[in-house]
Amino acid sequence: MATTGFGGKTDHFGFATTDLILQESSKVPRAPNEAKALDANGDVAVTELYGNAAGTIYDVSCTYLLKSGTLDLSTLYVGELSTGVVVTGIKVDTTNGDWPKVAVTGVLGTAAFQAPSGKLAKAPLPAITITGGKFAQGLGFTVSSGALNSSSLSVQCETAEAADGEGEPVAYAASFPNAEVTAQGVYTSAAFAWAVTEPGVGLVEKQAESTVEPQAAWQTSTATGYIPMVRGTVP
């Protein structure tokens, strides 16, 4: 039985399923800006708040855990999910010490977004499937030697705002930079190495595997890459 006022309950983005469970969430009113006029003594004579004067815009976040089953990441979007609900960032983490987690940040209370003709103001994540289990997983890559310890996929939506004469936002638009992928591994029978040729994902190596040789410990490596994002189209 749920207890009022205890634990994470509010799914701001509607991503939760039977397998992808909500762990925690937050909702914080966006702090407005201050415009101050000073008197002859340099003291503040009058202050006007702007940027969220009506108090209707909120910065929100949700953290989900994939406890079982599978999740096709391309079913998740960054950008405008619906009018007033915007995902500004998603970070997917897998590790050998926990179940996969999906951390989502966003904004509530915006006006409708503008988009190019025939396009949407949102973009799906890369077509990568993760599994609900306590193990590190390749996110658009495979491991050719060594052992994978952790991996992450970070996707952002860059939002632009236009304000009226009183500094209140009245128009919005979105753009989508490349998704970033990071892999961290360890030497086992050989040095950690990844292969970025998984079909249909389009991961491009940005920085090849590094080598860190610690004292009295196994050598570790980190590699990074990017995946081009594709804006959604009008059905």
Read off the tokens for 145. 């030697």
pLDDT at 82 over 60: yes
Please give the C-alpha separations between residue 180 and each of 57, 98, 101, in angstroms, as whole numbers. 28, 21, 16
Dist. CA 90–CA 227, nearest whole Å: 14
pLDDT score at 199: 84
pLDDT score at 3: 85
**Mean pLDDT in residue range 69-79:** 98
CA angle, residues 209, 76, 126, in degrees to nearest 5:
35
pLDDT score at 224: 98
CB 200 within 8 A of CB 141: no
CA proximity to 149, closest of 102, 112, 198, 97: 97
pLDDT at 59 over 90: yes
Per-residue model confidence as pLDDT tens digits over 15-55: 999 999 999 999 999 999 999 999 999 999 999 999 998 89
CA angle, residues 198, 200, 204, in degrees to nearest 5:
60
Per-residue model confidence as pLDDT tens digits over 214-226: 999 999 999 999 9
pLDDT score at 200: 86
Per-residue model confidence as pLDDT tens digits over 133-180: 999 999 999 999 999 999 999 999 999 999 999 999 999 999 999 999
| % of the chain surpassing 90 pLDDT | 94
CA angle, residues 66, 76, 96, in degrees to nearest 5:
30
pLDDT score at 1: 52
Dist. CA 43–CA 192, nearest whole Å: 62
What is the average pLDDT value for the chain, to the nearest integer?
96
> What is the DSSP code (8-state) at residue 191?
-
Torsional sign, CA 48, 49, 51, 52:
negative
CB 174 within 8 A of CB 106: no
